Amino acid sequence: MKLDDRLRELIAIGTAIGANCHPCLRHHSAKARYMGIPNDEIAQAIEVGKGIRKGAQASMDKLVDELLSESRATLSPATADCGCSSTCAESKTPERV
């Protein structure tokens, strides 16, 4: 199955919201309007993205609560980079010094 351009833009709108990417949302919502995609379909894609973002946020909040409840003695720095950016790779943990 091949996705058509209309569906790709609607997916991109939802994904932009889920990723909190403001430039992506501006670009893809403008492109969707230019393509003539009705506002109600754009709104549905937005709602799906909000739901995804909300789920990810709830999961992150739960992890934060778990980490904060652990005692300092059980916390140890990771030995591997998390992979999110070069700043993590550049930071020095006690094991890397």
Please state, for a pLDDT cut of 90, what percent of the chain lies above it.
64
Domain-embedded: residue 83: no
Q: Is the model more confident about 88 or about 43?
A: 43
- Structurally, how many domains does the chain consist of? 1
Cα 38 from Cα 14, distance rounded (Å): 15
Q: Are 20 and 49 in contact (CB under 8 A)?
A: no
Q: For 9-37, how does the pLDDT look when each residue is reduced to its tens digit (9 = 90+)?
A: 999 999 999 999 999 999 999 999 999 99
Residue 5 dihedral angles phi and psi, to the nearest 5°? -60, -35
> Does residue 49 belong to any structural domain of this protein?
yes
The residue segments making up the domain with residue 64 are 5-70
CA gap 4, 25 in Å, rounded: 19
Which amino acid, 91? S
Comparing 6-10, 28-32, 89-93, the range with the smallest average pLDDT is 89-93
Is residue 79 a part of any domain in this protein?
Answer: no
Report the pLDDT averaged over residues 51-58. Answer: 92
| 97 located within any domain | no
HEC-encoded secondary structure of 5-60:
HHHHHHHHHHHHHHCCCHHHHHHHHHHHHHCCCCHHHHHHHHHHHHHHHHHHHHHH
Give the 3-state secondary structure of residue 4.
Answer: coil
**Is residue 7 within 8 Å of residue 48, measured between CB atoms?**
no
CATH number at residue 51: 1.20.1290.10
